[in-house]
Structure 1
């Protein structure tokens, strides 16, 4: 995988209370590109952070339906990945681990 693709796979950390609780169990949550695969996500995390990845779980979050004055609309959906690091590995500079 080329260097340019590495930076396009991971869009950023997904910072929520649930992500902070997952970080205690060595699991970190990232928003990823809609066409990213598990091997690409694993390679990107290992290359960018220099940590060994144990497993990757990916899920699609559907956009919410919202009612407005002009009818109904649909928010944009996104894709996120739960990345489990190997035992003894942590991401110190990860903003969701606070």
Structure 2
């Protein structure tokens, strides 16, 4: 297995009604690389967003759904989601401002 660089860990932010409500509690949701660990996610957030200090990281693994098209069946890709909680003294993540 090749090592994952910090800029490969965070794939994209999750923009849902629930994730927007959690931003008031300094919790930000990201889709992350399926093999990334909590330590790697913490380092990636702190390096990519200057001034952000991560308090904790919660992760969820989601298996791919089985899909069918005619007689052929397959699975969609599995995903991993991370909810990153920032400390009270850290800066807000500017990426989410204005959403």
TM-score interval (norm. to shorter): 0.7 to 0.9
CA RMSD for the aligned pairs?
A: 2.0
TM-score normalised to structure 1 length: 0.82
- Tell me, in whole angstroms, the C-alpha distance in 1 between the residues paired with 2:72 and 2:21: 37
Alignment partner, residue 92 of structure 1: 94
Displacement after TM superposition at 1:71 (Å): 4.5
- Tell me, in whole angstroms, the C-alpha distance in 2 between the residues paired with 1:76 and 1:18: 23
Question: Residues 1-98 of structure 1 correspond to what in structure 2 (within 5 A)?
Answer: 5-50=5-50, 51-88=52-89, 89-94=91-96, 98=99
How many residues in Structure 1 have an aligned counterpart in Structure 2? 94
- Tell me, in whole angstroms, the C-alpha distance in 2 between the residues paired with 1:25 and 1:41: 19
Give the number of the structure with larger relative contact order, counting CA–CA contacts within 8 Å between residues 6 or more apart: 1
Q: Structure 2 unaligned runs (5+)?
A: none
Task: Please list the CA deviations of residues 20-62 of structure 1 after superposition, one character each: whole Å capped at 9, or x if unmatched.
Answer: 1221221001111111111111011011102111100111012
Greater CA drift, 77-86 or 10-19: 10-19
Q: Structure 1 unaligned runs (5+)?
A: none
